[in-house]
Amino acid sequence: MKKERYTIAVLPGDGIGPEVMAEALKVLQAVALKNRFQVQLNQADVGGVAIEKFNTPLPASTLQTCRQADAVLLAAIGHPRYDSLPSDKRPEKGLLGLRAELGLYANLRPAKIYPSLIGASTLKEEVVRDIDLLIVRELTGGLYFGEPRGLQQEMGFNTMVYRRHEVERIAQTAFEAAARRGKKVTSVDKANVLEVSQFWRKIVLQVAARYPDIALDHYYVDNCAMQLVRNPRQFDVILTENLFGDILSDEASMLTGSLGMLPSASLGTGSAMYEPVHGSAPDIAGKNIANPIAMIASVAMMLRYSFDRSQEAEGVETAISRVLEAGYRTRDIAAEGDRVVSTSEMGALITEAL
Ligand code: IPM
Ligand code: MG
- Which superfamily does CATH assign the domain made up of 1-105+268-354 to? Isopropylmalate Dehydrogenase (3.40.718.10)
Residue 77 Cα, ligand 2 centroid: separation in angstroms?
11
Residue 98 Cα, ligand 1 centroid: separation in angstroms?
12
User: What pLDDT is attached to residue 256?
Assistant: 87
Is residue 82 a contact partner of residue 51, using CB atoms and an 8 Å limit?
A: yes
Residue 139 Cα, ligand 1 centroid: separation in angstroms?
10
Q: Is the pLDDT at 259 greater than 90, yes or no?
A: no
Q: Which of 95, 135, 138, 275 to mutate to test the pocket of ligand 1 (most atoms within 8 A of CB)?
A: 95
Identify the residue whose C-alpha is closest to ligand 1 atom 5: 92
Give Cα separations from 29 to 13, 41, 49, 150 (angstroms).
20, 10, 25, 45
> Each residue of 199-238: pLDDT tens digit?
999 999 999 999 999 999 999 999 999 999 999 999 999 9
Angle of helix 17-34 versus helix 293-305 axis, rounded to 10: 40
Lowest-confidence pick of 19-23, 80-84, 158-162, 164-168: 80-84
User: What pLDDT is attached to residue 1?
Assistant: 83
Identify the residue whose C-alpha is closest to ligand 1 atom 6: 92
Identify the residue whose C-alpha is closest to ligand 1 atom 4: 246
Q: Is the pLDDT at 16 greater than 90, yes or no?
A: yes
User: What pLDDT is attached to residue 287?
Assistant: 98
Let me know if 246 is a catalytic residue: yes
Residue 238 Cα, ligand 1 centroid: separation in angstroms?
18
What is the pLDDT of the chain when averaged over all its residues? Answer: 96
- The catalytic residue among 6, 105, 144, 162 is 144
Q: Where are the domains of the chain?
A: 1-105+268-354, 106-263
Calculate what percentage of the chain has a pLDDT beyond 70: 100
Let me know if 93 is a catalytic residue: no
pTM of the model: 0.94
Residue 297 Cα, ligand 1 centroid: separation in angstroms?
18
CATH of domain 106-263: 3.40.718.10
> Each residue of 131-145: pLDDT tens digit?
999 999 999 999 999
Show the ligand 1 pocket: residues with CB < 6 angstroms.
78, 92, 95-96, 246, 277, 279
Which position has the higher pLDDT, 121 or 248?
248
Let me know if 45 is a catalytic residue: no
Q: Which of 82, 96, 273, 280 to mutate to test the pocket of ligand 1 (most atoms within 8 A of CB)?
A: 96
> Each residue of 220-231: pLDDT tens digit?
999 999 999 999
Atom of ligand 1 nearest to the CA of 92: 7
> Each residue of 329-339: pLDDT tens digit?
999 999 888 99
Let me know if 70 is a catalytic residue: no
Query: What residues have a C-beta under 5 A from ligand 2, the ion?
Result: 246
Residue 268 Cα, ligand 2 centroid: separation in angstroms?
19
Ligand nearest the Cα atom of residue 95: 1
